[in-house]
């Protein structure tokens, strides 16, 4: 049978278990392997996001690209049946080419509504994020291994009659590469969901590129403030990675929302405190266009049929109620110890969060 034949990746000595590289070691339908790239200009004129993922146990590969410029979000999404050649990172008009692993990656989107041809070049070594585990009741619902990286980007982005010439001096690129198990839509929650409802979720994911250093901050907290994920690491080439303790974030939200306008992240040992100042430049909710939950028009890993391509233009001044219950990527300018940097302040806060004073899902900043 065709399913029993080796696939191209089986030629390489990369196997972890006695299975073809066509298969993953778990039968969990939620197995995934994907990436996300952020490309942002330093003045807040544009925020470009591109990602690609494979979902081996539901047989899907999909990708997306979004561009926020002004109050408009342009989006191209594509989905198809997952094939045997896992080295081919392409679906529809979207393609990722690894020209030099961990160093140089080409991103292309060949579509009339949104197109790009970009070369992402690492400025710092890749950094492991903490091992990410999440349970609902007694069941493991998320287990992810991820690394993050920052660098420069060059090339061109076109959409809506505008053209952006991208260069490393005025633009920054960050990326996240992850794999493991992560919920894919379509699974019934059953008893565990009914008896273990989500009371609240508070998330910060923050990669920052400075001229001579890279900073990564990540936290996840439950409704009562209990922290399930925590890391703050400073990377400087030629030096040991420096852990900056237990990050504490003060966020100034826009009145009547949970939209951050600025923030301060307190870092370092109490005897040697440091403050990371965050100035929000542009915002792109991942539930709008990019397929992250709780998007209502398309979500990652869902079967759309063969050769599916979808194009959307969103007015971000219009209400998008579901976006308030998802994660938003904010391009931002950062200041730390006299240095100015740029990167992403990814934030999601919904439901109860006692440290922020949010009492429930309808609670917002005064």
What are the DSSP calls for 58-85, one per residue? TTEEEEEEEEEETTEEEEEEEEEE--S-
361 within a domain of the structure (yes/no): no
95 within a domain of the structure (yes/no): yes
| Number of domains the chain is built from | 1
The parent domain of residue 247 ranges over: 2-18+32-181+193-356
Quote the pLDDT of residue 246.
93
240 within a domain of the structure (yes/no): yes
Assess whether pLDDT exceeds 90 at residue 192. no
Mean pLDDT of 228-250: 93
Report the distance separating Cα 22 and Cα 5, nearest Å: 9
Contact 152, 171 (CB under 8 A): yes
54-84 pLDDT tens trace: 999 999 999 999 999 999 999 999 999 999 9
DSSP-assigned beta bridge partners for residue 69? 46, 72
306 within a domain of the structure (yes/no): yes
Mean of the per-residue pLDDT values for the chain?
A: 95
Match 């400025």 to its residue by tokens: 123
Assess whether pLDDT exceeds 70 at residue 41. yes
Match 């950094």 to its residue by tokens: 127
Quote the pLDDT of residue 365.
97
Quote the pLDDT of residue 1.
44
Lookup: tokens for 185:
């839509």
Among 175, 165, 74, residue whose Cα is nearest residue 123: 175
Share of the chain above pLDDT 90, in %: 92
25 within a domain of the structure (yes/no): no
Quote the pLDDT of residue 90.
98
Highest mean pLDDT among 11-25, 237-251, 297-311: 297-311
Mean pLDDT of 266-287: 92
Diameter over CA atoms, the chain? 65
Assess whether pLDDT exceeds 80 at residue 99. yes
87 within a domain of the structure (yes/no): yes
Share of the chain above pLDDT 70, in %: 99
Identify the CATH number of the domain in which residue 160 sits: 2.40.370.10
Query: What is the spatial order of strands in the sheet that 214-221 belongs to?
Result: 242-243, 227-235, 214-221, 200-209, 339-351, 328-336, 274-285, 260-267, 248-253
Confidence band for 3, pLDDT divided at 50, 70 and 90: low
Does the predicted model carry a pTM greater than 0.75? yes
What is the tally of helices (H) and strands (E) in the chain?
Answer: 1, 23
Total Cβ atoms within 10 A of residue 72: 15
Among 68, 34, 284, residue whose Cα is nearest residue 157: 68
27 within a domain of the structure (yes/no): no
What are the DSSP calls for 108-173, one per residue? EE--SSEEEEEEEEESS--EEPPPEEEEETTEEEEEEEEEEEEEEEEEEEEETTEEEEE-TTTEEE
277 within a domain of the structure (yes/no): yes
Quote the pLDDT of residue 273.
86
Query: What is the length of the chain?
Result: 366
């Amino acid at each position: 049978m065709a399913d029993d034949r080796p696939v191209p990746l089986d030629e390489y000595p990369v196997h972890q278990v006695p299975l073809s590289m066509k298969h993953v070691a778990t039968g969990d339908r939620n197995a995934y392997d994907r990436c996300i790239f952020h490309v942002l200009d330093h003045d807040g004129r544009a925020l470009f996001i591109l990602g690609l993922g494979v979902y081996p146990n539901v047989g899907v590969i999909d990708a997306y690209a979004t561009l926020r410029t002004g109050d408009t979000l342009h989006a191209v999404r594509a989905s198809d049946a997952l094939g045997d050649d896992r080295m081919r990172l392409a679906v529809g008009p979207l393609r990722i080419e690894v020209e030099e692993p961990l160093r140089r990656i080409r991103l292309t989107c060949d579509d009339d509504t949104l197109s790009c041809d970009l070369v992402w070049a690492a400025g710092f070594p890749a950094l492991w994020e903490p091992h990410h585990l999440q349970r609902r009741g007694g069941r493991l619902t998320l287990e992810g291994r991820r690394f993050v990286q920052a660098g420069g980007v060059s090339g061109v982005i076109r959409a809506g009659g505008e053209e952006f010439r991208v260069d490393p001096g005025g633009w920054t690129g960050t990326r996240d590469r992850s794999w493991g198990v992560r919920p894919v839509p379509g699974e019934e929650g059953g008893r565990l969901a009914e008896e273990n409802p989500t009371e609240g979720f508070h998330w910060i994911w923050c990669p920052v590129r400075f001229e001579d250093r890279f900073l990564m901050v990540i936290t996840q907290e439950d409704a009562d403030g209990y922290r399930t994920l925590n890391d703050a690491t400073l990377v400087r080439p030629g030096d040991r990675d420096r852990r900056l303790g237990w990050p504490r974030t003060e966020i100034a939200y826009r009145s009547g929302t949970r939209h951050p306008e600025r923030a301060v992240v307190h870092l370092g040992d109490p005897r040697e405190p440091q403050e990371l100042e965050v100035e929000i430049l542009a915002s792109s909710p991942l539930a709008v266009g990019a397929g992250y939950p709780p998007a209502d028009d398309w979500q990652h890993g869902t079967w759309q049929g063969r050769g599916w391509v979808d194009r959307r233009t969103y007015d971000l001044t219009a209400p998008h109620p579901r976006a308030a219950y998802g994660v938003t990527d904010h391009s931002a300018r950062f200041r730390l110890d006299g240095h100015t940097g740029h990167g992403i302040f990814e934030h999601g806060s919904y439901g109860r969060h006692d440290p922020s004073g949010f009492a429930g899902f309808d609670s917002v900043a005064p």
